[in-house]
Amino acid sequence: MFVALIPPADVVEDLASFVAPRQEADATGALRWTSQEQWHVTLAFLPDVADRHLDDLCARLARAATRRTDLELAVRGAGAFPNPARARVLYAGVDTGDTEGLSRLAAGVRAAANKSGAGADGGRFHPHLTLARLRRPTEVTRWIRVFDAYTGPWWSAREVALVASHLGEGPRNRPRYELVDTFALGRG
């Protein structure tokens, strides 16, 4: 499972229209492009949520969400994990007028998961949307420059989503995502 901010359809469509011709230009096929249905900003990755923790997790996520307000976000820029010289992931960056608020939201979501026994995993929070994965470490500076030119429309994140990921059940053996629940940001 994971907890994420899911961009609205118009934001996804705008990014998809920028990504599509670049996907076609990937002559090497080294990049395994993610589908636009999978684009999201992960706040917390929950590798193994036992059924007995799910109700408490949802209750704690709801409380964590009410402690934060809506966030204005835009997809902007690009980067690679772990670095451009030996990339395994190519991503689009996320810009916000409130970087601290977004980081606090992610910290609150991770704390809620840990307190529920669901156990959040992962390193330092770095907001992004994964565009592609690479089979082996590859130099991707050229791709970063291409996607660094993109600036998407601003959107308001008003809720966080708890999503179950069913590995290998989607098209071409990719994950299939199932929305479990959403939690509104703020008290009203």
pLDDT along the chain (188 residues), means of 10: 97 97 84 93 94 95 96 96 97 91 95 93 90 94 95 97 86 83 87
Distance CA 123, CA 108 (A): 15
Half-sphere exposure of 78 (CA within 13 A, CB side): 22
pLDDT value at residue 188: 47
pTM of structure:
0.92
**Catalytic residue numbers, as ranges:** 40, 128
pLDDT for residue 26: 83
Structure tokens belonging to residue 97: 């007028």
**pLDDT for res 113:** 96
Alpha helices in the chain (DSSP H): 9-24, 51-66, 99-116, 141-148
The per-residue pLDDT for 129 is: 97
**The pair of three-digit structure tokens given for residue 140, joined into one six-digit string:** 């991707």
User: 99-116 and 51-66 are packed helices; what angle lies between their axes, rounded to 10 degrees?
Assistant: 150
Q: Output the CA torsion 125→82→178→97 (10° steps).
A: 40
Helix, strand, or coil (residue 13): helix
| 147: helix, strand or coil | helix
